[in-house]
Structure 1
Amino acid sequence: MMRRFVFDNRWVGKEGCEEVVRKAWAKEFRGSRWFQSLFEGDHCDKDEVMGLERELDEACGEEEKYWRLRSKEKHLKDEDKNSKFFHMSTKLTCRKYLILGMEDGEGPSKTGADNVEAIVLDYFRTIFSANELCHPELVTTHVERRVTEAMNQRLTRADSSDEVKRTVLEMPADKTPGPDGMTQQSSSCCESYPCLPHS
């Protein structure tokens, strides 16, 4: 299965990035030699070593940004050398959401992705299928109505574009990519690229 595209904040401000984007959008393109061209040359001198050390520092910063993006932590800033913390936070979050087994009411717990999937699908098919023995009017006639018609209209109305915009702008800029994989931060840094989508 192909992974969904998500803008990577490590690309922001990278030398040559804008040129790569322009070339990629100008024609069909299957890869980039941009990164390889940074390392051309077969001799090593002091300036090259210092340049490589600088690139290594930048790569460490980029790795930290990557793990910060993957983790759910919001109170720490970039460049704090917290990559290990962000990595562990992400691993713990993934472990927290991992379902190893499930009971279906017919005996011992069943393990394995196929068994868990079958139990979940069966459960939701059961609760969302129409049951001829169910008569909701028997319950609703005895329950006092608490939601007025005016309240119901307010609760069920469509969200306005201002409400949607306000909600989206309250999200952290480097989290929650849209359906196109672009985050708010990627949209703001790519405004100079007319070929990229903007929110």
Structure 2
Amino acid sequence: MSLFPTASVMTEKARGSDHTPLVISLDGQLLSSNRRRRKIFRFEAMWTRNASCREVISRTWDRTWTGAAGERLQCKLRNVCEELDTWEKTNFGSVNKQIKEYETALQDLDGNGLSTASLSRRAEFREKLDELLAREEVMWKQRGKAEWLHEGDLNTTFFHARANARQCKNAISCLRNLDGSWSNSADEVQKIITDYFQVLFNSSKPSNEDIEAAIEGLPVRVSTEMNEQLLLPFTADEVKSALFQMYPYKSPGTDASKAIANRLKPFLTSVISETQSAFLPGRLITYNVLVAYEINHYLAHKYWGSTGHAVLKLDLSKAYDRVE
């Protein structure tokens, strides 16, 4: 995988044999169909090593905009993205390309006779190359999502392997249709995803009587006082606390989930069962795998006693992927 990070494998229909042929593409072109995706703006952490980056952000952010507070914030963010994109193309440039240029220049200097002028130029090129290599290290660290690594760690193949693995994992090369066939064109893949989530999040429009009947018998976990506190408008301090808890180079979604989680945290002990393993400090969701194995082992080897046991299997897609 490290030699061919974009490799892909696809099965073909078996004809006249019980063996399904496998088609391997080392360059990833088999399933991608030369799809072109619109480039999404992403802030590069290595830009902060250039002093003019802060100047561009400060100058653009200080511009005056009219409209509501939300509209002004949106205009500021969009304008900063556009200015940084232009600045990156005109002033910052490609790090990999510049590294190759300075490495070639240093090789040319080393191949010629050394003089006072060439030594001075070599020191200048060496200093610029070191800075470019430091930027490259920050770039690969950001792509590798290895927050536990620090700048200054060796820029080895580990960074590249993590980044390439994430790229391969996140890429959707093809999807299976309802009839079992595979689709690899961009339009078909987009339609399959849209149709799937439209069905998943579509409501059956249950009546209030149906809802009351479904929740009848469930214990009340959230009291009236707790509900009143949870429904209060968010304060500026709560929003600031959620923002400052973000990892510096991460950009969470617009659903304000962190602020909601912070507000819900004091009531978690009343809402979450003691047997739940996820979303609690000191507990891991992987513990459930061990617990389930031990329970099945116990039931399979229970040969005595008059009390019977049963295992209830839940549809996790209904428990986690739907709101109804």
Shared fold, TM over 0.5: yes
**What one-letter code is carried by the residue in structure 2 that aligns with 1:137?**
E
Cα gap change, 1:159 to 1:82, in 2 (>3 Å): farther
TM superposition outliers: structure 1 runs of 4+ over 6 Å: 28-31, 33-36
Cα offset for 1:49?
0.8
Query: Shift in Å at residue 89 of structure 1?
Result: 1.0
> In structure 1, how many angstroms separate the alpha carbons of the residues matched to 2:235 and 2:201?
30
Aligned to 1:176: 250
1:147-186 residue pairs with structure 2 within 5 A?
147-173=222-248, 175-177=249-251
Alpha-carbon distance change, 61 to 94 in structure 1, aligned in 2, over 3 angstroms: same
Partner of 1:138: 210
The structure that has the greater radius of gyration is: 2
Match of 2:187 among 114, 137, 140: 114
Shift, 1:19, TM fit? 10
Whether the 8 Å CA contact 1:20–1:32 is kept in 2: the answer is no
**Cα deviation, residue 119, structure 1:** 1.2
Q: What corresponds to 2:43 in structure 1? A: 6
Q: CA deviation at 1:155?
A: 3.7
Q: What residue in structure 2 maps to residue 59 of structure 1? A: 132
Identity over aligned pairs, percent: 23
Instruction: State the Cα distance separating 1:60 from its structure 2 match.
Output: 0.5
Supply the AA of the counterpart residue of 1:98.
A
Query: For residues 203 and 177 of structure 2, what CA distance do their matches in structure 1 show?
Result: 20
AA aligned to 1:127 is L
TM-score normalised to structure 1 length: 0.63
Structure 1: runs of 5+ lacking an equivalent: 180-199
TM-score (norm 2): 0.42
Partners in 2 of 1:89 and 1:172 — Cα distance?
19
The answer to whether the 8 A contact 1:64-1:78 is kept is yes
1:6-45 maps to which residues of 2 (within 5 A)?
6-12=43-49, 17=52, 21=56, 32=90, 45=118
Report the Cα offset of residue 93 of structure 1: 1.4
Deviation of 1:121 (Å): 0.9
Which residue of structure 2 aligns with residue 84 of structure 1? Answer: 157
What CA distance in whole angstroms lies between the structure 1 residues aligned with 2:119 and 2:138? 29
Provide the alpha-carbon RMSD of the alignment: 3.8
The answer for the alignment partner of 2:21 in structure 1 is none
Aligned residues: 167
Aligned equivalents of 1:32 and 1:111: distance in 2?
A: 36
Q: Distance in 2 between the 1:2 and 1:53 partners?
A: 33
2:160 partner amino acid: H
**Relative contact order higher in (CA < 8 Å, ≥ 6 apart):** 1
**Where does the alignment leave 5 or more consecutive residues of structure 2 unmatched?**
1-37, 61-82, 103-108, 110-116, 254-324
**Conservation of the 8 A alpha-carbon contact between 1:65 and 1:78:** yes
Within 2, Cα distance between the matches of 1:19 and 1:130?
47
How far residue 107 of structure 1 moved from its aligned partner, in angstroms, is: 2.7
| Residue 109 of structure 2 is aligned to residue 72 of structure 1 | no
Q: Is the 8 A contact 2:177 2:192 kept in 1?
A: yes
